[in-house]
């Protein structure tokens, strides 16, 4: 039985925009998101004091002529989200060459002043952008009318027709002689693709024109605020957004989409659920959507999109600094560090595959504006460059982690050449590769941009090739006609929702919300050590897990939100056999933990679980090396060993500042295992765990499975000692709180 007007698969900006508009127009909407955070690439994550911005450097336009402005006004976005203007478009650095490009009329006059021999062609560049915008505003919205006038397109819309038949690289090479000028006009090419000769001029001019005319903007507090606003908008208008729900199948009857079968992303023991609706919107990569369809619909869609090629991917190095980078001379927001070997636009494609010691990259200093991503006196930055999943896909975990470190250090070394001493203030860094993008978005090729906007894959031809062959199944994503980027996703959501609103015969449904059994109540809070609380919750119905695994705990109404996310990954202290779910955590001044401390018994949270593979391997003796609150998964694992009647040697080396800071200290002294040794190390009065300590106290080391839990430095130090002692790498399990 149908209960929704539309089910949306995915909560990227395309899906959320479509869902918000349909909800605004009175439709009952359900959004299913496989991740535990909504937003797709418009998200953030917390590391130390920093709120890491996942994908947004700057959103284009927002001026009066911007196509997406009316959409955003319709959804009240400018009232609920603050957009900060970027001071300039970007700062280019290439050896001794340095150039800062302004935006708007100022950019045009600046370029003509600095390149007087190119004045005529600079004027034509901006005039072509103006003509494109004018013609696009004049284009009829009716699909049948557009088909009717298609033969007259070159006559009625000459700018659209002409720019659709040539690449950006070809046009720029034809009109400009000065290579530096061409470099300036394309310095942010990685926002679109890695090759200007495989990019439609029309798409490039529309997108670049939006930056030039309206400038760039950043969402204050991070792009997660934009996604959160749209989620709340949908919920306030009667819709529902369920995170951690993986769409497995699109249900088809008589070549018509009628619903979705989904399962819990993390708890696969829960039976699959089927929900029915008038329509289904896929805010997922089209190749993935095909896999959700039965035959023959799967084959039909695969044939339609089979020749379409995905865009490039990206690599990002997220950086947290313990200084305001402006003090070091990083006074520009977006800094494009170009490969010195770049001589022409034709070199860009090779540059995208060049060694990391040479490849062009962009360095964004979010601290130039009031981004609200880190405390005052600190700075958040990101290095970003084009990349390809194929360069990472074949690596095993060990090689993958090592290669990430090599790439990070190479790029950081190059960054310090541009800004001397900057690495002296680097507090934290983390690398996201195309594999990371694929992991969290499931996008083929690890691309955030969908299909590349080449000549054959943009405009009317793209719309035709990406159109749904199934009635009442719609697409709203970077893989749809509008393409990638924040603007493309918002356009896609609008065009999809508008087309549906006009074409679908909607039914009326009783307002209702699906019960989420992962939502549970807080039962108790108690202090178990210095600055350490034990939280006991109801156990979610149907939750099964293994000792040592963790959950993501999401707060519903956090009192404090500044510089934080309302969720945390926390190891489950309680054993799977227990009737309640327990977590322990250290108290800090973070907004999340302050909100936890202010929770009352009965307050609700949502639990996403189980996750992680920090579990028993049941092979030989067992040794734990634990620092601080890292003891939490060990408590559950020890209980599991007791229930297994484990007779091997179990040694627990527990490093804490002092006894009063040692969580579960009394329980750990009373573990009921026949060959159990508890070795607390209180570093306030004792030496830290070192090579001599391990050699002296753990005689069965080489016959043991070793588990290390603690800070990154603790884990790295202990692992180094174990490897030196002869422990095999495959016998070491690690958890560094990351």
Lowest average pLDDT, out of 104-108, 268-272, 403-407, goes to 104-108
* Average pLDDT in the chain: 96
pLDDT attached to residue 145: 45
Lowest average pLDDT, out of 73-87, 168-182, 546-560, 615-629, goes to 615-629
pLDDT of residue 1 exceeding 90: no
**Six token digits for residue 266:** 């993390």
Order of strands across the sheet with 532-538? 567-571, 550-555, 604-611, 519-529, 532-538, 580-586
Across the range 319-347, mean pLDDT stands at 98
Q: Show Cβ contacts of residue 415 under 8 Å, excluding neighbours closer than 6 positions.
A: 337, 363, 383, 422, 423
Across the range 312-325, mean pLDDT stands at 99
Lowest average pLDDT, out of 128-132, 146-150, 256-260, goes to 146-150
CA distance 291 to 287: 7
Residue carrying the six token digits 């430095």: 713
Closest by Cα among 444, 599, 609, 451 to 536: 599
CA distance 412 to 431: 11
pLDDT of residue 147 exceeding 80: no
When computed from its CA atoms, the radius of gyration of the chain, rounded to whole angstroms, is 28
Instruction: List the domain boundaries for the chain.
Output: 2-48+222-309+444-503, 101-216, 313-387+393-432, 519-611, 621-735
Across the range 599-628, mean pLDDT stands at 95
User: Please, which pLDDT band fits residue 156 given cuts at 50, 70 and 90?
Assistant: low
pLDDT attached to residue 105: 81
Across the strands, what pairs with 200?
167
Lowest average pLDDT, out of 147-151, 278-282, 302-306, 730-734, goes to 147-151
Q: For the structural domain made of 101-216, what CATH number should be given? A: 1.10.405
Across the strands, what pairs with 650?
622, 676
Residue carrying the six token digits 């130390």: 48
Q: How many CB atoms lie within 10 A of CB 163?
A: 26
pLDDT of residue 155 exceeding 80: no
- Its CATH class, for the domain covering 519-611, is mainly beta
Does residue 655 contact residue 714 with C-beta atoms inside 8 Å?
A: yes
Lowest average pLDDT, out of 34-48, 376-390, 457-471, 557-571, goes to 457-471
CA distance 318 to 51: 10
pLDDT of residue 299 exceeding 80: yes
CA distance 547 to 529: 22
Over residues 82-93, the pLDDT tens digits come to 999 999 999 999
Q: Characterize the bridge pairing of strands 621-627 and 650-656.
A: parallel
pLDDT attached to residue 137: 82
Closest by Cα among 692, 698, 707 to 679: 698
Percent of the chain beyond pLDDT 70? 98
Across the range 699-705, mean pLDDT stands at 94
We find that the CATH architecture of domain 621-735 is 3-Layer(aba) Sandwich (3.40)
CA distance 507 to 190: 44
Whether 2-48+222-309+444-503 and 621-735 share one fold: the answer is no
Does residue 446 contact residue 438 with C-beta atoms inside 8 Å?
A: yes
Over residues 232-243, the pLDDT tens digits come to 999 999 999 999
Closest by Cα among 444, 184, 166, 414 to 288: 444
Q: How many CB atoms lie within 10 A of CB 304?
A: 17
User: Please, which pLDDT band fits residue 461 given cuts at 50, 70 and 90?
Assistant: confident
| Own/partner pairs, 503-509, CB within 8 angstroms, 24+ separation | 504/5, 504/278, 504/279, 504/472, 505/278, 506/5, 506/27, 506/278, 507/2, 507/5, 507/278, 509/2, 509/3, 509/4, 509/5, 509/28
Closest by Cα among 38, 15, 12, 10 to 554: 38
pLDDT of residue 94 exceeding 70: yes
Q: What are phi and psi of 706, to 5 degrees?
A: -105, 130
Does residue 180 contact residue 97 with C-beta atoms inside 8 Å?
A: yes
Three-class secondary structure of residue 309 per DSSP:
coil
CA distance 285 to 477: 7
Burial class (CB in 10 A: 0-12, 13-18, 19+), 463: middle
What is the torsional sign of CA 229, 230, 231, 232? Answer: positive
Q: At what angle do helices 201-214 and 168-175 cross, to 10 degrees?
A: 70
CA distance 215 to 104: 7
CA distance 323 to 377: 5
Alpha-carbon distances, residue 17 vs 21, 243, 555, 613 (angstroms): 6, 16, 24, 36
Over residues 517-532, the pLDDT tens digits come to 999 999 999 999 999 9
CA distance 649 to 620: 8
Which superfamily does 2-48+222-309+444-503 belong to?
A: FAD/NAD(P)-binding domain (3.50.50.60)
pLDDT of residue 152 exceeding 80: no
Q: What does the CA dihedral 682, 687, 688, 691 come to, rounded to 10 degrees? A: -140
Over residues 658-701, the pLDDT tens digits come to 999 999 999 999 999 999 999 999 999 999 999 999 999 999 99
Closest by Cα among 521, 462, 522 to 488: 462
Q: What does the CA dihedral 192, 193, 199, 200 come to, rounded to 10 degrees? A: -20
Indicate the helix (H) or strand (E) that contains 31.
strand 29-33
Three-class secondary structure of residue 125 per DSSP:
helix
Give strand ranges (E) for 476-620: 519-529, 532-538, 550-555, 567-571, 580-586, 604-611
CA distance 295 to 308: 21
Percent of the chain beyond pLDDT 90? 93
pLDDT attached to residue 556: 97
Over residues 268-298, the pLDDT tens digits come to 999 999 999 999 999 999 999 999 999 999 9
Alpha-carbon distances, residue 668 vs 464, 645, 654 (angstroms): 65, 17, 10
Q: What are phi and psi of 412, to 5 degrees?
A: -65, -40
**Six token digits for residue 394:** 């074949």
pLDDT of residue 146 exceeding 70: no
Over residues 8-67, the pLDDT tens digits come to 999 999 999 999 999 999 999 999 999 999 999 999 999 999 999 999 999 999 999 899
Q: How many CB atoms lie within 10 A of CB 504?
A: 17
């Amino acid at each position: 039985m149908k209960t929704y007007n539309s089910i949306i698969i995915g909560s990227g900006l395309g899906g959320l925009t479509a869902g918000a508009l349909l909800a605004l127009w009175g439709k009952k909407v359900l959004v299913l998101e496989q991740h535990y955070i909504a937003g797709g690439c418009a998200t953030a994550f917390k590391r130390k004091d920093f709120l890491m911005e996942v994908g947004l450097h700057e959103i284009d336009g927002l001026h009066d002529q911007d196509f997406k402005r009316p959409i955003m006004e319709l959804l009240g976005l400018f009232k609920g989200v603050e957009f900060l203007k970027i001071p300039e478009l970007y700062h280019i650095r290439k050896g001794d060459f340095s150039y800062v490009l302004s935006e708007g009329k100022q950019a045009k006059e600046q370029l003509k002043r600095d390149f007087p021999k190119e004045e005529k062609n600079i004027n034509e560049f901006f005039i072509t952008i103006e003509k494109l915008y004018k013609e696009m505003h004049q284009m009829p919205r009716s699909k049948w009318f557009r088909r009717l006038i298609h033969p007259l397109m070159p006559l009625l819309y000459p700018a659209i027709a002409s720019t659709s038949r040539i690449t950006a690289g070809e046009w720029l090479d034809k009109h400009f002689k000065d290579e530096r000028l061409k470099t300036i006009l394309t310095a942010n090419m990685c926002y679109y693709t890695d090759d200007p000769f495989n990019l439609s001029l029309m798409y490039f001019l529309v997108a670049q024109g939006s930056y030039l005319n309206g400038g760039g903007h950043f969402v204050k507090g991070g792009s997660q605020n934009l996604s959160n606003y749209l989620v709340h908008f949908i919920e306030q208008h009667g819709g529902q957004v369920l995170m951690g729900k993986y769409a497995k199948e699109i249900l088809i009857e008589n070549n018509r989409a009628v619903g979705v079968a989904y399962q819990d992303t993390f708890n696969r023991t829960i039976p699959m659920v089927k929900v029915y609706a008038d329509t289904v919107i896929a805010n997922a990569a089209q190749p993935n959507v095909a896999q959700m369809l039965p035959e023959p619909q799967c084959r039909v869609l695969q044939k339609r999109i089979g020749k379409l090629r995905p865009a490039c991917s990206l690599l990002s190095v997220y950086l947290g600094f313990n200084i305001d980078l402006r003090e070091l001379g990083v006074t520009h927001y977006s800094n494009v560090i170009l490969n010195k070997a770049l001589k022409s636009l034709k070199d860009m494609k090779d540059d995208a595959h060049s060694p990391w010691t040479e490849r062009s990259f962009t360095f964004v200093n979010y601290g130039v504006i009031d981004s609200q991503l880190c405390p005052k006196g600190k700075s958040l930055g990101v290095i970003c460059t084009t990349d390809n999943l194929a360069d990472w896909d074949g690596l095993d975990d060990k090689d993958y982690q090592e290669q990430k470190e090599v790439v990070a250090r190479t790029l950081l070394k190059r960054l310090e050449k541009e800004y001397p001493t900057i690495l002296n203030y680097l507090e934290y860094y983390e690398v996201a590769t195309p594999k990371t993008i694929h992991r969290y978005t499931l996008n083929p090729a690890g691309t955030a941009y969908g299909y590349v906007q080449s000549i054959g894959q943009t405009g009317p031809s793209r719309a035709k090739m990406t159109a749904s062959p199934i009635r009442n199944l719609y697409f709203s994503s970077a893989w749809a006609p509008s393409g990638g980027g924040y603007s493309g996703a918002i356009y896609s959501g609008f065009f999809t929702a508008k087309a549906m609103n006009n074409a679908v015969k909607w039914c009326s449904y009783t307002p209702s919300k699906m019960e989420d059994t992962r939502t549970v109540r807080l039962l108790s809070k108690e202090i178990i050590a210095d600055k350490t609380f034990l939280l006991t919750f109801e156990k979610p119905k149907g939750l099964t897990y293994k000792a040592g695994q963790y959950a993501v705990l999401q707060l519903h109404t956090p009192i404090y939100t500044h510089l934080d996310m309302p969720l945390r990954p926390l190891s489950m202290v309680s054993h799977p056999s227990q009737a309640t779910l327990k977590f322990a955590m250290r108290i800090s001044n973070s907004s999340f933990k302050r909100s936890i401390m202010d929770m009352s018994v009965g307050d609700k949270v949502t639990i996403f679980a189980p996750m992680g593979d920090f579990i028993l391997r049941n092979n030989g003796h067992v040794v734990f090396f634990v620092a601080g609150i890292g003891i939490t998964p060990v408590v559950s694992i020890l209980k599991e060993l007791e229930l297994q009647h484990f007779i091997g040697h179990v040694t627990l080396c527990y490093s804490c500042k002092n006894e009063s800071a040692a969580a579960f200290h009394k329980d750990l002294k009373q573990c009921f295992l026949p060959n159990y040794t508890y070795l607390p190390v209180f570093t306030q009065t004792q030496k830290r765990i070192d090579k001599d300590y391990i050699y002296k106290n753990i005689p069965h080391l080489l016959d043991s499975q070793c588990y290390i839990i603690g800070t990154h430095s603790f884990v790295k130090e202990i692992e180094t000692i174990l490897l030196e002692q002869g422990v095999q790498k495959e016998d070491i399990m690690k958890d560094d709180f990351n």
